[in-house]
Amino acid sequence: MLFFTGVILYGTLLNLREKTLAEEMKLKNIETLRDIKVVIIKSRYTLELYSGDILVKNYKAVFGKTRRRIRHSALDKVTPTGRYYVCSKDSVTEFHRMIVLNYPNLHDLAIQLKDGYLTREEFLEFREELNTNNCIGKRNIKFGTIGIHGIGYFDIVFSNLPFRFDWTNGSVAVNNDDIEELYSVMEHGTEVIIHP
């Protein structure tokens, strides 16, 4: 128990140096964020927030337990890679806040069809869901909902570990303070690119 407490204390000290989004914007002489884009790099455990071409802030992030690129079902715990958009936001969730992405998109569905994880009928049905701008539908039952969320109740533990521990169902997790910042600036349609 003493070792675990020391690890959390060490992680807390490391986190004291992190600047808020407002502090980063002031340092970079940015009054208002414009053309917001998020770039997630799984291999670096980072989520980068951009205003146009300017990197405003780096966030620490963790991902799904399974380290593959392609997600085949809601059960495989893979964080998919690709280009997505914010399609919904949820302020009442077990993970504090949730920014929902339009996963699976048409590219993901085409791969699932090609690889035999979807029938042609399912592909056509899910494609129609996408064409009607449904954020969450039958395709999410098969593939799960993917987004960016906080940690929730265990934030004090997970956000203060001095190492990264992948634990999500495939979504991207940041600490509760960070999801508050992101939730306040990411709107419906914000582009999110997830790299391996």
The CA distances from residue 149 to 4, 34, 146, in Å, are 25, 22, 9
Whole-model pTM: value is: 0.87
Whether the link from the prior residue into 80 is cis, omega within 30° of 0, is: no
Q: What is the pLDDT of residue 194?
A: 97
Instruction: Dig out the tokens for 113 from the structure.
Output: 């069809």
- 2-19+60-103+144-188 folds as L,D-transpeptidase catalytic domain-like (2.40.440)
What pairs with residue 173 in β-bridges? 62, 149
Q: What is the pLDDT along the chain (196 residues), one digit of tens a residue?
A: 554 455 444 444 444 568 999 999 999 999 999 999 999 999 999 999 999 999 999 999 999 988 777 888 888 899 999 999 999 998 877 888 999 999 999 999 999 999 999 999 999 999 998 888 778 777 888 888 999 999 876 666 667 655 677 878 999 999 999 999 999 999 999 999 999 9
Q: What is the pLDDT of residue 158?
A: 62
b/e per residue 108-127 (b: at least 16 CB within 10 A): bbebbbeeebbeeebbeebe
Q: Where are the domains of the chain?
A: 2-19+60-103+144-188
What DSSP designation does 19 have? P
